[in-house]
Structure 1
Amino acid sequence: MINAAIAQESYILNYDNVEVKKITQDIASFAKKTIILDPRVKGRVTIFSNTALDQNQVWQVYLRTMQVNGFSSITEDGDIVRIIPENEATRDENIVLNDAEFLTKVFLLENRLVEEILPMLKPITGRQSHLSSIPSINSILLVDRKSNVNRIETLIKELDANDAAKISIIKLENLSSAEAVRILEKLKLQNYPSMNNFIAIPFTPSNSVILSA
């Protein structure tokens, strides 16, 4: 659903596991675009923004969401845009998104500049993810697997709340990242003074621990 403030031409995106066709219909209306969906473009996606977006920003969020989910946009005459599967010649005839596999979210920063936070996050996004800034509203646009979005959201909140906070990525060789984080959290619960002001998150793709302190 798009909650629209028509007078200001701004929109808040709120789609939880919604059919691509329905989202496309809404986006076409508010972005004033004619969108043609290839019959193979099917499935459900999730998009959230915690701040109002203007018409162009809504359109960019939609395009990035389609891209990360394996679809491309082709602009034709005027405002006609076709959404088709990437590498369509090598794909099956029935392309379906994995339900809720990817999540699109816009994070509004309140205390720090997006140019400062964005470089810290790039090393921990997935290969198929999209991470970019929306400078006009000091926000970060992230499209990634749901589990990774949740991890990064925790980090963004910590980084935004503490202007001295930084991210460190520690690659492990002899211990799993999940076990390392479990040990750190256990020490934290024991009220070690030097262990209280940090967030530790396992990053299993590279068996690393992401520390924010």
Structure 2
Amino acid sequence: MIIANVIRPFSLMLLVFAALLFKPAAAEEFSASFKGTDIQEFINTVSKNLNKTVIIDPSVRGTITVRSYDMLNEEQYYQFFLSVLDVYGFAVINMNNGVLKVVRSKDAKTAAVPVASDAAPGIGDEVVTRVVPLTNVAARDLAPLLRQLNDNAGAGSVVHYEPSNVLLMTGRAAVIKRLLTIVERVDNAGDRSVVTVPLAWASAADVVKLVTELNKDTSKSALPGSMVANVVADERTNAVLVSGEPNSRQRIIAMIKQLDRQQATQGNTKVIYLKYAKASDLVEVLTGISSTMQSEKQAAKPVAALDKNIIIKAHGQTNALIVTAAPDVMNDLERVIAQLDIRRPQVLVEAIIAEVQDADGLNLGIQWANKNAGMTQFTNSGLPISTAIAGANQYTKTAPSAARWRAP
């Protein structure tokens, strides 16, 4: 019994000693108070406390003063080191081999800064580079806005690469994280649903043309492209497709419904003058194709729009066509008429018609006469040569100024 009482206290002392022996060592803490300390001495002190190899750029000079009454652990002490250097215009580059390099902040953006990611975004005042792809916003438009929020005079920079629509952002990890939050909110596709607006009376192509013309000033305004509605005509179903931001989309749909109203008269009449084609010849062709056009239009329209007749007549005196049809059919017929009323290929042929007779040509001939030697009168000649010579001599006497005839 006495032995048991002696062993029990001894065992308790062994347990206490073992607990003290295997108690984990407390995390080491560091003081963060410096007054008028040379900055290179400050860097050496931090390097020794953190057991880090630090390379100091020759341009790093100055003194620092920091007062803190709290003790910091290793991670807090390292962030304190980065923040102090940031305040005095310097930055720390964490190399791949674990070596730290202290340079001026404006030189850090061109140094071998580590590329951060979602898995390793960086902490606090670490200088990192982040590649941010964009989906719905143009990088060239967003980059100038982000530059105003980054420390461009120091370690920060924002550039864009247009072919792949990405942003390259360099700066303090905390600043880059804030910029990423802004980018995620801005790069939002929004609600750009497509709404189909069927038309009962108007032509889809005509309505789109009018809406586009009315919306031209809005497209040229300072509104971004994502807030401007787009309209496209589907002539097959006679409908208008509207896409865009909800408010713009509703405004365009209301405009389309105001334009899609029944006309006071069913159809309209136009006189189309032809230049090259013959009006009577085109009536048969247009009547045949107009029935096909009307069938296609009626298949896409409600019953209320089926009572539209097409009338095509020719006016021979003016070579014109008189067409009565619905506006959408009228547009199709005008395009067909313009393609048929073309100048046909022509060949210019020039000819000269002359009548040749040889009745009087048989009396043509020649006579020879000499003033000194005389003459010979051929019997097959109609006019005596002596008479011709006498007439020539008489002419020379009465008109001396004229050219004289002289026998050789």
Q: TM-score, normalised by structure 2?
A: 0.20
Point out the structure with max Rg over C-alpha.
2
* Bigger fraction of residues in strand: 1
Q: TM-score, normalised by structure 1?
A: 0.37
